[in-house]
A and B are shown apart, each in its own frame.
Chain A
């Protein structure tokens, strides 16, 4: 038992000596001032002097840079697209039957008669349906038609469209605002 106690005492003394040896002060390997200078250069390559930084969130430096670059690229892209759209709007390369330029108010539907349809046949057809030509023909050969009674309902327009489409000599019949 005495032997065990001696061993324990020796072990404890050895541990204490190890702890004390490891806790001894050591001269530093590196120079704090030089290290700090390098750190500050890393943080702000343009200004190594430690001082108050302009207000910004640390940790977002590279991220903010990338985001800013992305925003610039996006802005340039949007500008190019916007300019392209404006140019297209300013000088359209085509014209639709549903939106001809300079069309007078009151046009309820448009037609494109076949070339074989004679003028008197067309007039007779429109007169029978209580329709009259108010514009055209445009470059596509379309005429704008209005109902004689100004307060035409949607159902009335639809009925006229159906009647015209059923009539011979009509290439295209469409209500204003698109097909119904």
Chain B
């Protein structure tokens, strides 16, 4: 295959910076669907991951992502840059998730699906077991606690950003994290004794964010 055709076949570049994303929002506000597609592709994985912590139902996750970008399409012109684009979009996703979960319930349609979705890690035995453990432990938390833990630990948002996304006080975020850790400590007491996992870049930073 010629090199040129390979270049042309590549998907549109996913924006990296907040300025790029704000520019995409501006284009979306002008009705440019290609910009919406680019933003959608840039956010699909992290929204999928965030929402998968709240429900294991793929149909519900897709519905919430769809609702989120439907609102982004409609409200892009309202974004004033008061927060990061990611904070704005995740805030929309959180509100959509709350609404949808109230309608559908947040229990997985089939608990066996949860384990099936957590695969393809480097070490199938240790990593799958660890992820499965954590996923099961997270299901013991409330939706607010799960979202808080995923945003702070999973996605690496600062606690201030988590408060913005979930539209609550910083103290509320800290309280949710405190109670979530206490509950997880009960159901996952041996977590620290599990085989070492790869540092994913985000892990390890903001170690003191929730120490207050």
Contact = CB atoms under 8 A, between A and B. Distances in A.
Contacts of B62: 30, 34-35, 38
A160 B78 CA distance: 72
A58 B74 contact: yes
B163 interface: no
Contacts of A55: 30-31
Interface in A1-58: 10, 13-30, 32, 34-36, 38-40, 42-44, 50-58
A53 B188 contact: no
Interface in B94-122: 117-121
A28 B44 contact: yes
B140 interface: no
B197 interface: yes
Given A16-B207, A20-B197, A20-B200, A26 B118 contact: yes
Contacts of A27: 117-120
Most buried by B among A22, A25, A35: A22
A36 B30 contact: no
A30 B46 CA distance: 11
Contacts, number: 152
Given A30-B61, A53-B33, A58-B31, A17 B192 contact: yes
A54 B31 contact: yes
Q: Dominant SS at the B interface?
A: helix
A54 B149 CA distance: 41
A27 to B, nearest CB: 6
Contacts of A54: 31
Contact of A26 (B33, B52, B65, B181): B52
Contacts of B69: 39
Interface string B125-148: 001001101100010000000000
Nearest to A28: B48
A24 B197 CA distance: 8
A59 interface: yes
Contacts of A56: 31
A172 to B, nearest CB: 67
A77 interface: no
Interface of A: 10, 13-30, 32, 34-36, 38-40, 42-44, 50-59, 61
